[in-house]
Amino acid sequence: MSKPTSTPSSSSSRATASRTAASSSRKPLIYGAGVVLAASLLGLVSYWATAPDHSGSSAPSSSSVADATTDPDAGVYPELAGLARRDAGDKLAQGRVDAPVVLIEYADFKCGYCAKFARDTEPALVKKYVGDGTLRIEWRNFPIFGAESEAAARAAWAAGQQGRFWQFHRAAYAEGGKEKGFGKDRLKALAQQAGVPDLDRFARDADSSAASAAVGKDQEQGYGIGVTSTPSFLINGRPIAGAQRTETFARVIEAAAEKARGTADAKTGGGTRGTEDGAE
């Protein structure tokens, strides 16, 4: 789990302007005190499983994570679940809009643990759960490491405008990618690697106020629920912090899917009984 080592003093004026514009153009996100307290787990739960002096692949030792993966109701907050956009036009999402489980990821392209999740865990989740319609993944740009993080976030959004976000995401998180940095030439090269068809449009989009506003909107949402480090996740309203093992995500997803199916069955059953009772 990566945290900014200091507050970057060299962040671009565009980044500052985007956050200001996003904040002024929308009403502030308001959450109950209990939800904010619960969301603070994003910065605390499983810290030791993903701290820099750990391998990141060891089993989470936090009892909070263990509880969350065995009880489908533990640590679930409806207000956080409501952050899932389920927008068919969302170019930074994959999976069915009506999937029973939505995983929201707050991440930074300069974050090593985000890259680890992208390479080691996410492909398996996509293959098993997105592929069968169980899971939808929604990306939130959450740049916290300065100007290059901001630039990479805007570039990823720009790639998404041409339907190549996930290809850009894969290229940016490739082994050794973080060390190459995210300067303008590097971002253009990543766009080429991702198969973005119109590179001139990509450059314009990445430098646009629309890109800044979109990134600012994601940041505002993350900060509004207490995200302070990356990667951070919400799975149907349940906070999960850090690049946990694939098995941990699988247990949470399956528990959430089972709960969602049970809720749907109860609604269907209730409706059927009501009809039958009325007919009688």
What does the domain layout of the chain look like in residue ranges?
13-268
What pLDDT score was predicted for residue 37?
A: 53
What pLDDT score was predicted for residue 141?
A: 98
- Burial of residue 260, with CB atoms counted within 10 A of its CB: 0-12 exposed, 13-18 middle, 19 or more buried: middle
Mean pLDDT by 10 residues, the chain (280 residues): 58 42 40 53 41 36 42 83 97 98 98 97 98 98 97 98 98 91 97 98 98 98 94 96 94 96 78 38
Strands (E), 40-183: 93-94, 101-107, 135-141
Residues ≥6 apart with Cβ < 8 Å to 154: 206, 207, 211, 212, 215
The CA–CA distances, whole Å, from 39 to 76, 123, 200, 202, 217 equal: 10, 26, 40, 35, 18
What pLDDT score was predicted for residue 38?
A: 52
Say how far residue 140 (Cα) sits from the centre of its chain: 5
Instruction: Give the domain 13-268 fold.
Output: Glutaredoxin (3.40.30)
What pLDDT score was predicted for residue 275?
A: 36
Report cis status (omega within 30 of 0) of the bond before 231.
yes
pTM: 0.78
Question: Edge to edge, what strands does the sheet with 238-241 contain?
Answer: 93-94, 135-141, 101-107, 232-235, 238-241
Tell me 121's DSSP state.
I
What pLDDT score was predicted for residue 7?
A: 42
The CA–CA distances, whole Å, from 174 to 13, 67, 239, 252, 270 equal: 29, 33, 26, 26, 49
What pLDDT score was predicted for residue 111?
A: 97
Tokens (6 digits) for 50: 């993903």
Nearest in space to 187 (alpha carbons), one of 116, 177, 126: 177
What pLDDT score was predicted for residue 99?
A: 98
Say how far residue 43 (Cα) sits from the centre of its chain: 14
